Structure 1
């Protein structure tokens, strides 16, 4: 079952037009491992904000200032802290103002985000075992 909250607004014909955004997956209370995919259902087409289409802000735990812009119905989350969180979706107008539809789902994230760091390449030659690299053994 998808979680969804919507907002009504008047349209030009005097009726109401239901704005809606929902998390299709992961399901509420899911356990996910990084990276994981979020599938979104929206009552309006999503796309590049420069095109004038709506988009979604995805963020965690009510931290709406630290969001990922989603311009399609799927997005991969590659970085997030491990533990219990609330995933939030907020449907946005092209100018980033709230379009009036939001939703959230609780989930638990395992692991850590991002790619493990690699060792930097040495900038100097490593000392040789014979001691001829200028190092004292």
Structure 2
């Protein structure tokens, strides 16, 4: 076999291995929209809902605990923070600047709670986790973005 043919064959094999590895990594990573886990295009950052457990019955107020691979803090500090909202209502969210918070209002019934890692300027950091839960007793809903639940 000529040297140029061997080099192309090795290069093609290496490219195929890289493509397979990239596909395998994507398949093994957490999907956005799955209960408790979270990933996305967040540059290796992760976010997991620790509490409430997926499928939990909760009553307002209830505690939400998350595990973030990056430090959380106030937007003014330049740190990441989390937005929490229910179902598709991304416009009405609770801002969370630590790994634990109390949700003081939530819609009654079965819902999907979205937890999204955010940059200091509130833009999405590319990592989101969801948890299905049942709110036994809801409370007054917020009136606008960032007013909280």
**What TM-score comes out, normalization by structure 2 length?**
0.67
Gaps of 5+ in 2: 1-34, 141-149
Give the superposed CA RMSD: 1.4
Q: Which of these residues, 24, 28, 45, is aligned with residue 54 of structure 2?
A: 28
Matched, 1:44 2:67: no
The CA distance in 2 between the partners of 1:87 and 1:8, in whole Å, is: 20
Q: Aligned residue pairs: how many?
A: 106
Secondary structure of 1:46's aligned partner? coil
Runs of 4+ residues over 2 Å off in structure 1: none
For residues 101-122 of structure 1, give each alpha carbon's deviation from its aligned partner in whole angstroms, at most 9, with x where no partner exists: 00101000011315xxxxxxxx
Shift of 1:48: 0.2
The 5-angstrom pairing of residues 1-137 of structure 1 reads 3-8=36-41, 17-113=43-139
Secondary structure of 1:19's aligned partner? coil
The CA distance in 1 between the partners of 2:62 and 2:86, in whole Å, is: 14
User: Who wins on radius of gyration, i.e. which is larger?
Assistant: 1
Comparing both structures, which one devotes a greater share of its residues to strand? 1
**What TM-score comes out, normalization by structure 1 length?**
0.73
Comparing both structures, which one devotes a greater share of its residues to helix? 2
For residues 77-125 of structure 1, give each alpha carbon's deviation from its aligned partner in whole angstroms, at most 9, with x where no partner exists: 01112100100001000001110100101000011315xxxxxxxxxxx
Secondary structure of 1:18's aligned partner? coil
Secondary structure of 1:50's aligned partner? helix
